[in-house]
């Protein structure tokens, strides 16, 4: 649920139904409110007690989740559960889709209902609609906030045994990484989300092919050798599943079988470089503290 190319192009003034109206309305007394929660990645295993409480107590929930099984599970918690999936249509701009999601949630908030947007993973990670819906609701005077959830990044750390503090981590949407000149550090981990959409600049495709991934490889080859091992990763969405972890050479990426939710993980390719001048200054400060 992410606009990977130009997220800055979104403007709440152009979201259908997002304009503030009824300025004289006492929003606090109208009862309308919005909370967006995350239910994590693995069904039933990652949801927090607070997120569950918001889902159960809402007048209506809107579901932006990974599959129909998760929707059925959520419908058992709230009788008025509405899927956001129908807003996606083949060939339809995701920009329009996300705007319609925001409009749907805000319409119920304005009607005085307690609304809960339920999203897989973390509702604020690679998800434009929850952020925008909260922003618009607040601008119109309604209580609105976000509750965090376990994201695929959290699963990735656990499944691949990565400590982001050891070398540092860089995160980019794959297409954004390709289209814009980003400054990256090959001595840190590089995480590229939505590699299955590599190079999409239309916001209409559901996948791109090997030729697009070859462009990605060419961009990465500016910083990494073609023989460098990379990882295709996808977290488990059901408790009975195992995560998908495939290791391959960077050069082999165009021909790989890429899944829709795959993340590309590029391990560090060089050693951390010490800044001798900074280290000298810090050593001097340490000596001064000891002497003082």
Catalytic positions, please? 94, 98, 120
What one-character-per-residue DSSP string does 157-180 give?
HHHHT--HHHH-EEEEEHHHHHHS
Stretch (H or E) spanning 81:
strand 81-83
DSSP letter, residue 237: S
Asked if 232 and 191 touch (Cβ cutoff 8 Å), the reply is no
From the number of C-beta atoms within 10 Å of its C-beta (0-12, 13-18, 19+), residue 247 rates as: exposed
CA 273 – CA 53 distance, rounded (Å): 48
* 156 in Cβ contact with 47 (< 8 Å): no
Residue 59, both tokens = 């007048």
d(CA 205, CA 207): 5
Q: Pick from 113, 105, 111, 84: which is nearest to 36 by CA?
A: 105
Q: Positive or negative CA dihedral for 125, 127, 129, 130?
A: negative
């Amino acid at each position: 649920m992410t606009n990977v190319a130009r997220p800055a192009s979104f403007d709440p003034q152009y979201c259908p139904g997002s304009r503030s109206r009824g300025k004289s309305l006492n929003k606090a007394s109208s009862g309308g409110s919005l909370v967006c929660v995350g239910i994590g990645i693995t069904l039933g295993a990652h949801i927090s007690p607070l997120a569950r409480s918001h889902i159960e107590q809402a007048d209506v929930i809107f579901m932006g989740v990974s599959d129909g099984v998760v929707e059925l599970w959520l419908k058992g918690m709230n009788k008025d559960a509405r899927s956001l999936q129908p807003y996606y249509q083949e060939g339809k701009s995701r920009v329009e889709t996300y705007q319609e999601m925001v409009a749907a949630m805000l319409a119920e908030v304005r009607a005085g209902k307690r609304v809960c947007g339920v999203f897989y993973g973390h509702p604020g990670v690679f998800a434009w609609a929850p952020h925008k819906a909260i922003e618009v609701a607040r601008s119109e005077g309604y209580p609105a906030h976000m509750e965090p959830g376990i994201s695929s990044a959290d699963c990735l750390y656990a499944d691949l045994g990565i400590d982001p503090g050891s070398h540092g981590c860089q995160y980019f949407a794959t297409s954004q990484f390709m289209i814009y000149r980003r400054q990256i550090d090959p001595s840190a981990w590089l995480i590229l989300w939505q590699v299955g959409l590599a190079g999409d600049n239309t916001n209409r495709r559901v996948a791109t092919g090997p030729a697009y991934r070859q462009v990605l490889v060419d961009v990465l080859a500016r910083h990494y050798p073609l023989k460098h091992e990379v990882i295709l990763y996808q977290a488990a969405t059901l408790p009975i599943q195992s995560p998908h972890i495939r290791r391959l050479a960077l050069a082999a990426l165009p021909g790989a079988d890429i899944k829709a939710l795959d993340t590309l993980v590029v391990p560090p390719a060089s050693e951390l470089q010490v800044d001798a001048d900074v280290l000298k200054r810090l050593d001097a400060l340490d000596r001064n503290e000891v002497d003082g």
